[in-house]
Structure 1
Amino acid sequence: MQVWHSLAELPRDLGPSVVTIGNFDGVHRGHQAVLERMVADARARGQVAIAVTFDPHPKAVHDPAHQPELVTGVVDRLERLAQTGLDGVLVIDYTLEFASQTAEEFVRAYLVEGLRAACVVVGHDTRFGRGNAGDVDTMRTLGEQYGFAVEVIDDACAVSESGRRWSSTWVRELLEKGDLPSAAEVLGRPHRLRGRVVHGDKLGREIGFPTANIDVSAGMIPRHGVYAGWLTVVDARGSAGAEALVGERLPAAVSLGLNYTVGGTDLRVEAFIIDRTGLPLYDTEVTLDLVKWRRPMLDFGGLDALVAALTEDVEWCRSVLA
């Protein structure tokens, strides 16, 4: 899948294309169903399938004081979009200047002249252009004017077996509860955090549980507590020792929250790699795929009780991940 970040990067021979537009936060099973069907339709027509998405999220630009909590960061969003079979994704740098375009200016510049759309696939509630003035009827009118078809998504393929519509909102609700298995069911995969391994206070090493402290840069922080999960090094960032670890899934007991026992006041995300020691993880970029929540963060009153609890946590995580 090709990724473009501006109109200037689009190939001159692109098209004709089938295009859809959205934030695609989480790329959950509803997104996947719609995109996979769109890709199949594009293949049948001999056309390319392209998604248009935005970074940062529009709400973060229009109301920066109330930043939306995104399920996934842009890197993981693109990785998951690629898995649907799309030929390309145009990531638009969402700014107030971009948002000032009229609906017609956006359609003409991006869909017609840039992506050479033969068909545009939209949802029933699609809004676009300055002040969100454009809707489905606007898109149909512009399609007639500029010569592209408009298809409105049939939501039937975006409804779960329970009857509830797949949605990013549903995923957030489940993550806030710590219900990782159900969140994975909606997402079609485990929930993922991404970040860089940084130096911590080394307390874990002193008590026999050395951890990788992760400065999370993307992915929604779920309910605080202890989790079973998988840590994967995705970029060694120049570490020769870590190169051999890239791509290997490492079983981990993950502590996410405040370490009350030692008076912690800052959010920490720490991963204890099970049955592996001495791994050169500092400064590497890693992902954490969280599988199951075990317990909340607790004040054990002292290090001995904390060590006993961690020992039980690790055994539980080893069993879950086995």
Structure 2
Amino acid sequence: MNIPRLSAKDRMPDELRSGVVALGNFDGFHLGHQAVAGEAIAQARAAGRPAIIATFDPHPVRFFAPQTPWFRLTTLDQRQRLFENAGADAMLVFDFDAELAATSAKDFITLLLIERLGVATVVTGEDFTFGKARGGNIDVLREFGSANGLSSIAMGPVVDASGVISSSRIRNALKDGDCAIATALLSRPFAVEGVVQHGDKNGRLLGYPTANIDMGHYLRPRYGIYAVKGRLPDGRVLNGAANLGIRPTFDPPKELLEPHFFDFSEDLYGQNIEVEFHGFIRGEAKFDSLDALTAQMAKDCEQARDMLSSS
């Protein structure tokens, strides 16, 4: 990664002050988020200023309701790569903690954005809220910002034939196993990144070795079998089929993402890989015998090959 990852707790480096900041949660960095970021980058380039994309971590929902089931679509590392690919000069992370949650909208604008971070222009979605008790919106931003030399641009929603493009629509599509909708709204396949860990070797014993990954804080798509692609640290892309779920045929139940990559036998343990979800094949099922499971796995892999050859 080439662009710096900055913390909003620190003073903005001099070379990045007077920048244009795209401000939002940006989890998933879908087409709607990309429109906000694209406007910020265009404004920055036109004015000869730094272009910065900001995000919040953890998501405010996790801070206020920590019992909420995991719903993340991207990690900070993934967002950093996405922001870089979009053309940003830096990524700015607002650590969402008790201090930030208690910061008033006015102080967020004057003390953080203007004094600490030296922001010249903010680009955000027209429905974005911030500050204690969500006391800030685009009108508040304009009111307090303009008096202190901070300009603001509000972007309307990006819509398709089914309505506003949002993270909620993407999450619902993934929970339904609808990879096509999720891919269309994200502009790329949903992908889980993680370190390959040692498992129970069940796949290897059955002739289908897997690269096991913990789902961590990611949203859980519908449990089942998927056609996937794996992206390795060296840039290689592998086709495969993956099981996501608790492996009901084996005891004890254990949630894992288990991709099997076709025609591949190298050791991936300890490597950080990204697994893209390209198509849902079937729901997770319990089999009466390992022979029945093995036969079904062969069919799943054949179907995954067909899906990926046509994608």
Q: TM-score category by the smaller chain?
A: over 0.9
Structure 1 residue corresponding to 2:275, chosen from 283, 288, 292:
288
Whether the aligned pair in 1 keeps the contact of 2:21 and 2:119 (CA below 8 Å) is yes
Q: Is the 8 A contact 1:103 1:128 kept in 2?
A: yes
Structure-2 residue corresponding to 1:182: 181
How many Å apart are 1:125 and its aligned residue? 2.1
Alignment-derived partner of residue 274 in structure 1 = 262
Structure 1 counterpart of 2:224, which letter?
Answer: G
Q: TM-score, normalised by structure 1?
A: 0.90
> Residue 24 of structure 1: CA displacement?
0.4
CA RMSD between the two structures: 1.7
Structure 2 residue aligned with 1:164: 163
Out of 37-46 and 177-186, give the one that drifted further.
37-46
2:285 counterpart SS class: coil
**Counterpart of 2:304?**
317
Q: Distance in 2 between matches of 1:294 and 1:121?
A: 40
Letter paired with 1:247: G
Structure 1 stretches of 4+ with a deviation exceeding 3 A read none
* Pairs within 5 Å for 1:65-80: 65-67=67-69, 69-80=71-82
Residue 192 (str. 1) matches residue 179 (str. 2)? no
- Kindly provide the amino acid, as one letter, of the partner of residue 11 in structure 1: P
Take 1:118 and 1:204, find their aligned partners in 2: how far apart are those partners? 55
Q: 1:9 to 1:118 in 2, by over 3 A?
A: closer
* Contact 2:21/2:51, CA 8 A, preserved across alignment: yes
- Residue aligning to 2:118: 116
Deviations 1:202-231 (A, max 9, x none): 122222112121123353221111111111
Query: Residue 144 of structure 1: CA displacement?
Result: 2.5
Report how far residue 189 of structure 1 moved: 0.3
| Matched position secondary structure for 2:169 | helix
Residue 242 of structure 1 corresponds to none
Q: Where does 1:29-44 land on structure 2 (aligned, <5 Å)?
A: 29-44=31-46
Q: How does 1:1-322 map to 2 (within 5 A)?
A: 1-8=3-10, 10-67=12-69, 69-155=71-157, 158-160=158-160, 162-234=161-233, 246-277=234-265, 279-322=266-309
Q: Secondary structure at the match of 1:24?
A: coil
How much has 1:7 moved relative to structure 2? 4.2
- Residues 195 and 218 of structure 1 are in contact (CA less than 8 Å); yes or no, is this contact kept in structure 2? no
CA contact (8 A) 1:202 1:210 kept: yes
For residue 55 of structure 2, give the secondary structure of its aligned residue in structure 1.
strand
Alpha-carbon separation, structure 1, partners of 2:201 and 2:243: 14
Tell me by how many angstroms 1:263 deviates. 4.2
Cα distance in 1 between the residues matched to 2:77 and 2:15: 26
Give the Cα–Cα distance (whole angstroms) in 1 for the partners of residues 288 and 213 of structure 2.
Answer: 25
In 1, the alpha carbon distance for the partners of 2:255 and 2:184 equals: 27
Distance verdict in 2 for CA 1:117–1:6, change over 3 Å: closer
The range that moved more, 120-129 or 279-288, is 120-129
**Aligned-pair CA distance for 1:43:** 1.0
Q: What is the deviation of 1:163?
A: 4.8
Distance 1:108 1:169 in 2: 31
Kindly state the Cα deviation for residue 167 of structure 1 after the two structures are TM-superposed: 0.6
- Change beyond 3 A, Cα 1:87–1:44: same
CA contact (8 A) 1:259 1:297 kept: yes
* Structure 2 stretches lacking a partner, 5+ long: none
- Report Cα offsets for 1:129-177 as digits up to 9, x if no partner: 222212222111112221122222133xx112x1511110010010001
Give the match's secondary structure for 1:146: coil
Give the residue type in structure 2 aligned to 1:219.
Answer: Y
